[in-house]
Each structure stands twice: as structure tokens, then as C-alpha cells.
Structure 1
Amino acid sequence: MPIDARVGLRVLVIEDQHDIAANIWDFLERRSHVVDHCADGVSGLARALEGGFDVIVLDLGLPRLDGLDLCRQLRAAGHGVPVLMLTARDTLGDKLRGFGEGADDYMVKPFAMHELEARIRAVHRRVQPVRDTLVLGCLAYDPATMLATREGRTVALTRLQGNILATLLRDAPKVTPHPRLLQLAWGEDGGDIAALHTQVYELRALIDRPFAHAMIQSVRGIGYRLVDLP
């Protein structure tokens, strides 16, 4: 058995449907994970803010505080723990909203438990931080803290935004093709081109729009590149 499959993770399940939560808990515990559970958004957010989890499995349709609001508040508080959203909503718009609020992956109910565990392990692997700060001219990004700095202004990024910016910084000034960005941001089974464009649009709003010159350039039909200031 691969080493990865024997290492248990600390997983917080925020799900109001008792049967689903119980099935997830039982399955993950049998796979050596340590599981905690909250049945509504308010208690789930409070527990998530305490920290100590490797991954959060988050239902969107929660009582008291829905999953999107919970994820937004979690990211606003500076918590970068990976979030896997669960939902019965299967439209592109719903997925984009989930990614826009800081989710790392998205699964539609019903789902297979083995796939759920595989996704949990995948998002955990993808968020292991690179310690070196990446720099291009006046723009810097620290993957460990998910903070970008440009011309003295610091902004917090979501995990996906940070993955995209880190890739562009490493590749600069070369063009990074869409497939490479999709692979490094979401892995094999994650986002699509529409989700990528949404993330880049929001990233530009944070690190380009407040300044006189744009650093993120779109190469139509191919990808994106990051350029230094003129």
C-alpha cells in the first residue's frame, strides 16, 4: 500500500444531513483519518477558525450560515486550510461561485466515498506550501502565507489564486498555457477553462487594477503571462 494511503488526515466535515455525515465519518475513520463534524454553518465556522485541520469537507446548503458565506469568512480571517465543497447544485455558475469564495475543489452529490477520499488527499497534497518567496520586479508572493505584495501594498489571496500567481511568477516572462495552469491549480479532476478565467479575473482585480500598469497579460487562445513593469 502506498505510504500516502496509510497517513491519516484531520478532516472537519460540515454537513447538516445526518446520514451523509455519518457515512463520510465512518468511511474516513476506517481509512485512518481523524474526523470531526458540525451540523450547521455557524458552529462549523467557529470550529474551522480554531484550526488544526488538514482539510474541510463543506456542504453548501447549511442552516444558519450557508457554505459560501462560511468559506468567504474563513478566507477573510486568513485561514488557508483546503476546502472541498459538497453540493447538489451542478451548474457552472455554482461551481464558479464556490471557487470564487475560496474553495479548492467541488463535488456534486451523490458521490462515491472512494472518490471523496481521493479528492481530500489531492487537495491536501496541492496545498503543501513552497517556502521560497517568488518575485518579479515590484511583485512578490509568499506561498507559505498566501500573501502577495506589490508596490508596498499587501493582499491576501485564496489558495487557487495563489497557485495561479505562483505558476505565472515561476514561468515569467514566458507564456503559461491554459492546460498547465489548470493542472497546477486544480490537479487532474478539478477546474475548467471558465473557472480559470474567473480566478484570473479576480486575481487581476487584486494585483493589477489598483495600479497604473497591468502585469498579467492574456495571450488569446493560449494562456497567460506575467510581465515586469515598463
Structure 2
Amino acid sequence: MYINVLLVEDNIDLAITLVEYLNISNIICDHARDGVSGLQLARAQRYDVILLDVMLPRMHGQKVCRALREDGGQTPILMLTSLDALQDKLDGFASGADDYLVKPFDLQELVARIRALSQRRSCQASLLQVADLCLNTASREVSRDNQPLHLSPTSWQLLECLMRASPAPVSRERLELAIWGDDPPDSNSLKVHMCRLRRSVDKGFKVPLIHTLAGVGFKLGVICDKA
């Protein structure tokens, strides 16, 4: 199972290293270079964990963290910083951080902490629901309008990715990375699997839930027609 992470880090060399290593570890990583962009992404997308630098341009990391908590966001936040004084750590936790890792850090430790935070979150959110579609990650059951659906392992992964992101869209690249990592089989594979998933989820129901957004990707949810 993949983990979806947002990295907010202004050091580009470090960010590239982290994104590459996390991808190898089955952790999909979006990146923002400053606090304002990071806050916007965190509000627009759903992530399992947020990796947040403290000394960020445009908006301090603690302010980003505090803003997300004031929004009611519960996504685990791991602060990454070179500030190692006790008061710095206390300030980070006071702003709403769940964990604190001082630079430089071991990449294996970072992955372990991400997985621990993600597991804590997944235990709290084993039941995903969009409209009348329900997916239980604990029992491995999925249903729509109380009718059980039977999905292949790949369809399950695609659906879980779409449901965790809903109502935000998911790009083709992110879906391919979630299913096949850095080595997708061919350009038509995702299209084939999405067609199968759409048949399983939408066939026989009046309201379609899976939508293709040209130039963007795919979205799961109810789209109301404007009058």
C-alpha cells in the first residue's frame, strides 16, 4: 500500500533527494518550495503525512502548521528542521506538530517515522466514503448503495487512491506511480484499468462517480450540472 506525503522544503537539493528516496520506499511525495504554496497544497489535497520544514520563505513552518490545525485538519505533521533546541521543539509541538526530526537525519529513520504516523492515521480512518460508495480498508470490503462490489487488486488500489483524494482530482502520473511505481507497463494500462473500475463502480447506477478531467486526471465524486 502506498503512502501519500506532502514535503514542504525550500532546499531543492535536499527535496530532490528526499522525493527520490521516498518513491523507492513506496511513498508518493508532492513538493512545495515555500510555506504559502505548502499551505495551499495541504488544503487542496489529502495527504497521509505532511513533512514540514520550519525555516521557510513566505510563511514560517509553525504558522503553516497552526493554520492547518485551525482549519480542523488532522493530517499528521512531521517537522524537519536544523533547529535542535528544546524550546524549538516545544514551539513546534505547540503549533500542532505530531513529530519532530532534526537535520541532518537518517533517511531510514525518516521512512520509519512516516510509516508510523501514516499507520496511526489509517487506523483512525479505515472507512472511506464518497456519496453512496463505501470502502473499508480493514475488512477489505467495498460497496455502493449497500451492494457489494468485487474489485481486482489493481482496481482496489486505484479506488482507494481516488477516495482518499476526493473531492480533489488525481493526476494520471500519481495513479501510475501508486500502482506501478517508476515502471508503468505501457501507456494504455491505466486507461484499461480505469475502464474496468468505472464499470464496477458506476454500471447500473444513475449517478456516475468516476470522472475523467481532460488535462488533469481523474476525480471521484458527484458532479452537479450547473443550470
Structure-2-length-normalised TM-score: 0.53
Q: CA RMSD in A?
A: 1.3
How far, CA to CA, are the matches of 2:16 and 2:109 in structure 1?
A: 17
Matches within 5 A, 1:103-118: 103-118=97-112
- Structure 1 residue 34 displacement after superposition: 1.2
How far, CA to CA, are the matches of 1:8 and 1:129 in structure 2?
A: 17
How far, CA to CA, are the matches of 1:8 and 1:106 in structure 2?
A: 22
How far, CA to CA, are the matches of 1:9 and 1:129 in structure 2?
A: 15
Counterpart of 1:37 in structure 2 is 31
Matched, 1:9 2:3: yes
Helix, strand or coil: the match of 2:31?
strand
Counterpart of 1:95 in structure 2 is 89
1:84 pairs, out of 65, 78, 86, with 78
Structure 1: gaps spanning 5 or more residues: 1-6, 132-230
- Structure 1 residue 51 displacement after superposition: 2.8
Helix, strand or coil: the match of 1:102?
coil
- Structure 1 residue 126 displacement after superposition: 2.3
Helix, strand or coil: the match of 1:81?
coil
How far, CA to CA, are the matches of 2:93 and 2:120 in structure 1?
A: 15
2:124 pairs, out of 129, 147, 165, with 129
Counterpart of 2:53 in structure 1 is 59
Q: State the AA in 1 paired with 2:124.
A: P
- Structure 1 residue 77 displacement after superposition: 0.5
- Provide the aligned length of Structure 1 versus Structure 2: 125
How far, CA to CA, are the matches of 2:49 and 2:72 in structure 1?
A: 15
Counterpart of 2:63 in structure 1 is 69
Matches within 5 A, 1:68-217: 68-127=62-121, 128-129=123-124
- Structure 1 residue 43 displacement after superposition: 0.5
- Structure 1 residue 130 displacement after superposition: 7.7
Structure-1-length-normalised TM-score: 0.53
1:184-219 CA deviation, whole Å, 9 max, x = no partner? xxxxxxxxxxxxxxxxxxxxxxxxxxxxxxxxxxxx
Helix, strand or coil: the match of 2:93?
helix
Structure 2: gaps spanning 5 or more residues: 127-227
Q: State the AA in 2 paired with 1:62.
A: L
- Structure 1 residue 31 displacement after superposition: 1.1
- Structure 1 residue 30 displacement after superposition: 0.8
- Structure 1 residue 129 displacement after superposition: 1.8
Matched, 1:19 2:13: yes
